[in-house]
Amino acid sequence: MIPASFDYVRPQSLEDALARLGEHGDDARVLAGGHSLLPVMKARLADPGVLVDIAGIESLSGISESEDGITIGAMTTHAEIEASASVQGRCRSLAEAAAAIGDVQVRNRGTLGGSLAHADPAADYPAVILAANAEITVAGADGERVIAADDFFTGTYETALGAGEIITSVRIRASAARGSSAYLKAAQQASGFAVCGVAARVALDADGAVERIRVGVTGVAATAYRATSVEDALTGAAPSAESIRKAAATAGEGVDALDDFYAGADFRRHLAGVYAARAIGKAWIRAAGE
Which residues form the interface with another protein (CB under 8 A)? 1-2, 4-5, 39, 44, 186, 188-191, 261-264, 267, 270-271, 274
Q: For another protein, which is the closer residue by CB, 103 or 207?
A: 103
What's the min distance (Å) between Cβ of 26 and another protein? 22
Backbone angles phi, psi at 285, to 5 degrees: -60, -40
CA atoms of 194 and 187, how far apart (whole Å): 5
What's the min distance (Å) between Cβ of 191 and another protein? 4
Q: For another protein, which is the closer residue by CB, 44 or 145?
A: 44
What's the min distance (Å) between Cβ of 164 and another protein? 29
Q: For another protein, which is the closer residue by CB, 91 or 251?
A: 251
**Nearest residue to 213 (alpha-carbon basis) of 196, 237, 186:** 237
Cβ within 8 Å of residue 29, ≥6 positions away: 37, 46, 48, 50, 51, 52
What's the min distance (Å) between Cβ of 131 and another protein? 20
**Nearest residue to 236 (alpha-carbon basis) of 213, 252, 215:** 213
What's the min distance (Å) between Cβ of 210 and another protein? 23
Q: For another protein, which is the closer residue by CB, 124 or 135?
A: 124
Burial class of residue 16 in the structure, from the number of CB atoms within 10 Å of its CB (0-12 exposed, 13-18 middle, 19+ buried): middle
**Nearest residue to 172 (alpha-carbon basis) of 234, 119, 98:** 98
To which H or E segment does residue 30 belong?
strand 28-31
Q: For another protein, which is the closer residue by CB, 4 or 177?
A: 4
Q: Are strands 50-53 and 28-31 parallel, antiparallel or unpaired?
A: parallel
Q: For another protein, which is the closer residue by CB, 162 or 264?
A: 264
What's the min distance (Å) between Cβ of 150 and another protein? 28
CA atoms of 176 and 283, how far apart (whole Å): 12
Q: For another protein, which is the closer residue by CB, 7 or 151?
A: 7
What's the min distance (Å) between Cβ of 143 and another protein? 38
- 3-state SS assignment for residue 3: coil
Cβ within 8 Å of residue 117, ≥6 positions away: 30, 32, 159, 161, 167
